[in-house]
Amino acid sequence: MKVIIAKVDETLFSGDAVSLTVPGSEGEMTVLGEHEPLVTTLRPGVAIIRSTQEGSSEFAVREVAIPGGLLEVRRDGATIIL
């Protein structure tokens, strides 16, 4: 699924990912591909993006600090707006 983390004036992360873990308002949650469409508010914390790497069975992990915001999940991806 395609994950985008964007501020109004810049995109902090944009790329394919296997899963996205965020500090949701109801507790930490992880979004995988084909997730039900969802909108939720986020608490300040760290968004963790896991993606496959070529030539390795390990996931590449990317962490992005977020000051709160909104998460929008579609079937084909997720967008966090800060």
Partner 1 sequence: MAGLKAIKTKIRSIQKTEKVTKAMEAVSAAKMRKAQVRALAGRPYARAAVAILSRLSGAQALSNHPLVRVRVTDPASATRALYIVLTSDKGLAGALNSAVLRATERDIRANGLQTSQVSVIAVGRKANDFFTARGYAVEVYHPNTDTLTSELVDEIVLEAANRFSTGVVDEVKIVYQQFITTFEQRPTMHTVFPLSLPELQQVVKDIIPARGAFSAPAAEDEPRAYEVEPSEGAVLDLVLPKLASIFVYHALLETQASEHSARMVSMKSATDKAGEMEHGLTLQFNKARQAAITREVSEITGGMEAMAG
Which residues here bind partner 1, judged by CB under 8 A? 4, 6-11, 14, 24-26, 36-41, 69-70, 72-75, 79, 81
Give all strands (DSSP E) within 2-37, no chain letters: 2-6, 11-16, 19-24, 27-32
Q: How far apart are CB 37 and partner 1 at their closest, in Å?
A: 4
Q: How far apart are CB 50 and partner 1 at their closest, in Å?
A: 20
CB atoms within 10 A of CB 27: 7
Residue 53 or 76: the one with the smaller Cβ distance to partner 1 is 76
Q: How far apart are CB 6 and partner 1 at their closest, in Å?
A: 4
Of 14, 4, 8, which is closest to residue 71 (Cα–Cα)? 4
